[in-house]
A and B are shown apart, each in its own frame.
Chain A
Amino acid sequence: MLFTIQVNNKKIKAEKGETILSALNRNGIKIPTLCRMKDFSPTGACRMCVVEVEGRDRLVTACSQPVEEWMKIKTHSPRVITARKTIVELLLSNHPDDCLYCDKKLNCELQRLAEELNIRERRIKARKIKPRLDQSSPAIVRELSKCILCGRCVRVCEEVVTANSLDFIRKGSLTHVGPAMDRDFNFSSCIHCGQCVMMCPTGALHEKHNIAEVQDFLNNTEIVKVIQYSPLVASGIAEELGIRFNRDFDRILNSMLRRIGFDKVFLTGTGTDICIYELAEQLGRNIEKGDVKPLYISACPAWVKFAEQFIPGILTNLSTIKSPQQITGVLIKTLIADQAGIKPEKIFSVSATPCMAMKFEARRDGMMRKGISDVDSVMTVRELARLIRLYGIDVSNIEPEPADEPMAGRSSAASLAEVSGGMAEAVIRTTHFLKYGIEPDKQLMKRLRTGGSFREITVMFEGKEVSVAVIDSLTGLAKLKALVDAGKHYDLIEVMTCPGGCINGAGLPFSFSGSDRKNRVKMIYQADEVDAVNLPCKSPLLNNLYNKFINENKEIADKKIFHTHFEKRNVLL
């Protein structure tokens, strides 16, 4: 039901039941918000969105107040603006003010609010928050002095990630956000997905930087510098550098990386292809044996840690195949080292990825061979963009180049794996193709792509029903558990921690907006329609890699290097 309300002496249409804020936004009136998160229930904690409603003594929060028919609202009256300004001034009163060195410097919401509200001097002085730096996690750094206690990280960890690793500790001026028993991150149940980093309006939570380390090695002439990057990296870099992304940008990125000083550039996508192929073979064997055990895909490192902590019962069903990054990494340290005749310890292998948990994964037990880690350093897209800027690479003036053989290409299915549901789709399609030489029904496959946090389909294999489940963000696990408890059986289960898959990964630029992401997903799906090599098994490159390199190499022909192990973790849950 639509009715009219008066805002700033103008009439606008509002819908019954919506909040003042949503009515205002729909009518093109912008008011600042801080603690508000899209698609979350409002808390009204920060009071940034206050407006004046005629007839009410106090200012009301637009984000939580339902709109009513009689309302006459003023969004930018002197009283409202003073209130908002004071709120920001109070937030700034104990802020460390080290904006020049801060990780969030150009993306800080607090800084933007201070600018928007025209704060030009420090009017309120308070004692600074005692600095406390938690660098214990391999992926996330926590700087408590910069925290403004908006609670967004706490809510995202509870409602989206369901790991419940963060909460407010103590009260009053001693309040801070932290894990159980006020410990550091490495002892907590944090799964390093980094969704809290994406939510943090200030620099209180940010990724752990590896730029300095990578730079050191880039300057070392005795070391062979190798980089691999995920399918989403190119679009992320384009966004961060402010260039229009097209499908050819991968090749431009290759030559940028070579100019920085990397000797070899490989695609993580080839690793994804191997991962999909190995999983498809395993699933095919399971189906033939009539195995009743489900196969959980373990490509998402945050999900793996989540399983190790919260549901150790399924660890035996978790696929032991490493994630694409680690597969590519181990191939670099074995195959490429052999091929080029260099010792693996003389290779410095970097991975660029949209994922933050990969930083943790590279340090996992079992991701090492003879004391040499598969991947030496993991960089997020944001870090890589910084590195590119640091080396002053002019993007407009650069010749596209191909990546290095033998990991120079990927099937469109490998890009599909960056979107939730894509990995399962690619695996089931490959299994079907390997068995029958044709792909299963496309419309059926599309049902894995959209439709809530839990999606399922059933594919027929020689009269046998093969059920596939896709969990899009960990909230879907509750439904899976309910269905499995009720006796439902699934053969293949894909779990992605970040909502929507890696496309919402915590390593992507902060400026990567929702519509950009949707566009990128659309491009991935379109590419899958038109690409000739839409499955790993159709890729001549992968066949070549398997036949000429992997099967010929005695050391790795048993494919043991593609496997890892998992164990129960003892952390405070």
Chain B
Amino acid sequence: MNTEIDSILKKYKPGRRDELIPLMQEIQDVNGHLSEEAIVKIGNYIGLSTTKIYGLATFYDQFRFIPAGKIRVTVCNGTSCFLNGSKAVINAIRELTGLQPGQTARDGIFSYEIVTCMGGCNNGPVISINDEYYPYVKPEQIPELLNKLKFIIEND
């Protein structure tokens, strides 16, 4: 993990802040999340305090600071999806898993988060599971969907 972060950092100019977001995106793509270690390393490399980097990263929903689950669900809660009933979908997931948005289950299998728009506004509510999109989701479908995925992962 150490060397991965270092090799990504080397692609960027030291002491330059303007490419901080692409840098964080790349690290998250490789590691799955932004660890404390990664944030400290980024800070040292570009000369910015961890407080500022953390503050910036928490502004965007795309960055996460704990590892995501094997089943990673993203629920759209943008205006259009909201009007089409995304709240009911979120509640269904919450009831089923007992997790808050942004949390990962202890067994590391499931995590979910809420984002503001995924660009599928006329197909709402939209959710994505491990970067695969599911349009017109109804809350009743959630348990079946998740159990199916859990079964696949457990027997993988």
Contact = CB atoms under 8 A, between A and B. Distances in A.
B36 A572 contact: yes
Given A164-B49, A189-B49, A181 B54 contact: yes
Given A572-B36, A572-B40, A573-B43, A180 B59 contact: no
A342 B125 CA distance: 76
A166 B56 CA distance: 12
B22 interface: no
B58 A169 contact: yes
Interface string A36-54: 0000000000000000000
Contact of A167 (B40, B54, B65): B54
A165 interface: yes
B58 A171 contact: yes
A188 to B, nearest CB: 7
A131 to B, nearest CB: 18
Contact of A181 (B52, B56, B59, B65): B65
A164 B52 contact: yes
A156 to B, nearest CB: 14
Contact of B50 (A158, A168, A573): A573
A169 B65 CA distance: 13
Contacts of B54: 167, 169, 180-182
A181 B39 contact: yes
Which of B50, B56, B59, B65: most chain A CB closer than 10 A?
B50
B6 to A, nearest CB: 18
Interface string B25-51: 000000000001001100100000111
Contacts, number: 47
A180 B58 contact: no
Nearest to A177: B55
Interface residues of B, number: 15
A171 B55 CA distance: 9
A428 B58 CA distance: 49
Interface in A176-227: 179-182, 188-189
Interface residues on A, range: 10 to 19
Contacts of B52: 158, 164, 167
Nearest to B52: A167
Interface in A147-173: 158, 164-171
B50 A572 contact: yes
A169 B55 contact: yes
Contacts of A166: 51
Contacts of A189: 49, 51
A572 B36 CA distance: 9
Interface in A508-536: none
A228 B119 CA distance: 66
B78 to A, nearest CB: 13
A181 B36 contact: yes
Interface in A523-573: 572-573
B28 to A, nearest CB: 16
Nearest to B53: A180
Contacts of A158: 52
Given A572-B40, A573-B43, A181 B50 contact: yes
B103 to A, nearest CB: 14
A166 B59 CA distance: 15
Given A181-B50, A573-B49, A573-B50, A167 B55 contact: yes
B51 A165 contact: yes
B58 A188 contact: no
B59 A171 contact: yes
A160 to B, nearest CB: 15
Contacts of A164: 49, 51-52
Interface in B50-98: 50-56, 58-59, 65
B9 to A, nearest CB: 17
A169 B52 CA distance: 9
Interface in B101-130: none
Contacts of B39: 180-181, 572
A548 B32 CA distance: 69
A164 B52 CA distance: 7
Nearest to B36: A181
A164 B43 CA distance: 12
Contacts of A572: 36, 39-40, 50-51
A192 to B, nearest CB: 15
A172 to B, nearest CB: 9
A180 B39 CA distance: 10
A293 B40 CA distance: 31
Contacts of A168: 55, 59
User: Which has the most chain B C-beta neighbours within 10 Å: A168, A170, A179, A180?
Assistant: A180
Contacts of B59: 168, 170-171
Contacts of A573: 40, 43, 49-50
Contacts of B58: 169-171, 182
A101 B54 CA distance: 33
Interface centre among B40, B43, B55 (most CB of A within 10 A): B55
**Which A-B residue pairs are the 9 nearest by beta carbons?**
A167-B55, A164-B49, A180-B50, A180-B51, A572-B50, A170-B58, A167-B51, A169-B58, A171-B59
13 contacts: A166-B51, A167-B54, A167-B55, A168-B55, A169-B55, A180-B51, A180-B54, A182-B58, A189-B49, A189-B51, A572-B50, A573-B49, A573-B50
Interface of A: 158, 164-171, 179-182, 188-189, 572-573
Interface of B: 36, 39-40, 43, 49-56, 58-59, 65
Given A170-B58, A171-B59, A180-B53, 18 more contacts: A164-B49, A166-B51, A167-B52, A167-B55, A168-B55, A169-B54, A171-B58, A179-B51, A181-B36, A181-B50, A181-B54, A182-B54, A182-B58, A189-B51, A572-B36, A572-B39, A572-B40, A573-B43
